[in-house]
Amino acid sequence: MTLTEVGTVAFDAIETPFGKRDKVVGGAATYISLAASFFVDRSNLVSVVGDDFPAEMLDEMKKRGISLDGLQVKEGEKSFFWSGKYHYDMNSRDTLVTDLNVLADFDPVIPASYQDTEFLMLGNLAPAVQRAVLDRMNKRPSLVVLDTMNFWMDNTMEELKDVIYRCDVLTINDEEARQL
């Protein structure tokens, strides 16, 4: 069983009622790929980072058997950064900062070795990028899962709706569901 994850590998600053952490490794694709590595035969990552992203984390991902053939490292550029404040229910949150950095012009490359993937997870990215990934797959995976968030709903709703129609599963929280 193979899974290809396309999404953010990033830095986050997280504030909750229980604590605050600055510049921690974050990104949906980071944790999707790590979690999936326990359950799939092959986990394939497609993303982009700046040269500020810690090599130790990439080494850890490789140790977990995650293919980084689809990871672009942009020299002299900064990784994506997101900052958010979660409310007491830990389900609703406010986005405080979104610095796209390397994501601003991310053009995903789907390696030939990823083309036979059974499952595709489109993480929280611009809908245009998610659509490009779908268009670049030689064959549609058996299951396509899409994650998104309020940032894309606020800024690119029509593009997002077009991508949603091409997917099998949508993962959003209740606040985002109401916004759709």
**Tens-place pLDDT, residues 46-88:** 999 999 999 999 999 999 999 999 999 999 999 999 999 999 9
CATH number of 2-179: 3.40.1190.20
Q: Give just the sign of the alpha carbon dihedral 160, 14, 18, 38.
A: positive
Q: How far apart are the C-alpha atoms of 47 and 161, rounded to whole Å?
A: 22
pTM flag (> 0.85):
yes
- Average pLDDT score over the chain: 95
Q: How far apart are the C-alpha atoms of 107 and 110, rounded to whole Å?
A: 10
Q: What is the pLDDT confidence band of residue 151, given thresholds at 50, 70 and 90?
A: confident
**Tens-place pLDDT, residues 45-57:** 999 999 999 999 9
Q: How far apart are the C-alpha atoms of 140 and 117, rounded to whole Å?
A: 9
Residue 173 predicted with pLDDT over 90: no
All structural domains of the chain with their residue ranges = 2-179
Separation in Å, CA 1 to CA 71, 130, 142, 146, 168: 21, 22, 11, 19, 18
Find residue 94's DSSP bridge partners.
Answer: 85
